[in-house]
Chain A
Amino acid sequence: AQSVSQHNHHVILSEAASLELGCNYSYGGTVNLFWYVQYPGQHLQLLLKYFSGDPLVKGIKGFEAEFIKSKFSFNLRKPSVQWSDTAEYFCAVIPYNNNDMRFGAGTRLTVKP
């Protein structure tokens, strides 16, 4: 079945460590790709998105993601995390010729001060 896969269920890092969260999708054709963040007790917020063009996209709060078409991947990165980055991170895809967004299972990030 077509899906969005996030490899890490829970990641624990110390402040200033580098972050990379994996995301792979299995939809063929053109896709729109997103990373959302959900801070504790808050609603989903968009971190960044990719539709076309430069495969390295920069989002808010120092996050970036790289689209690698050959690997069907859209990994999220941040060079130096902060305690305030503690949250749940969701990768999402809108497949070609579709209108609804499909989510990965999410990765919980805990940053220790």
Chain B
Amino acid sequence: SAVISQKPSRDICQRGTSLTIQCQVDSQVTMMFWYRQQPGQSLTLIATANQGSEATYESGFVIDKFPISRPNLTFSTLTVSNMSPEDSSIYLCSVDRDNLNTEAFFGQGTRLTVV
């Protein structure tokens, strides 16, 4: 299995500010995924992050709001910009360890509350 560490585990932020979430994996992976899990809802894919290229965003998510960095094969960050209460959610980092679509491993998530 892959060990994924996310930081911070939770935060309470003021509206209009930005928060950067870090995701560290214990091995090199080609693709890293960022999901959002809003209260009482399922996981929604925000974007896919490949090392060395720009992230690919899903419909409804834009780079200006959710900029992503992928500086190497074990690390990625997601920034939630200009936050509003609607951004309150759990943000999850995920990887496909063997790049064969055989299993996705998840971090413990970052619980964000915007006040």
Size category of the A interface is 20 to 34
Q: Given the complex of chains A and B, what is the CA–CA distance between A113 and B44 in angstroms?
A: 33
In the complex, whether B12 has a CB less than 8 A from a CB of chain A is: no
Q: Given the complex of chains A and B, what is the CA–CA distance between A46 and B103 in angstroms?
A: 8
Q: Are A104 and B107 in contact (CB under 8 A)?
A: no
Contact of A43 among B41, B48, B96, B107 (CB under 8 A): B107
Within 8 A of A (CB), among B29-81: 31, 33, 41-45, 48
In the complex, whether A80 has a CB less than 8 A from a CB of chain B is: no
In the complex, whether A105 has a CB less than 8 A from a CB of chain B is: yes
Q: Are B101 and A43 in contact (CB under 8 A)?
A: no
Within 8 A of A (CB), among B66-100: 92, 94, 96
Q: Are A99 and B48 in contact (CB under 8 A)?
A: yes
- Can you list 28 A-B pairs with a CB-CB distance of less than 8 A? A32-B101, A34-B103, A34-B104, A42-B108, A43-B106, A43-B107, A43-B108, A43-B109, A44-B92, A46-B104, A49-B102, A49-B103, A51-B102, A90-B42, A90-B43, A94-B101, A99-B31, A99-B101, A100-B45, A100-B48, A101-B33, A101-B45, A101-B94, A103-B42, A103-B44, A105-B41, A105-B42, A106-B41
Binding site for B on A (CB under 8 A): 32, 34, 42-44, 46, 49, 51, 90, 92, 94, 98-106
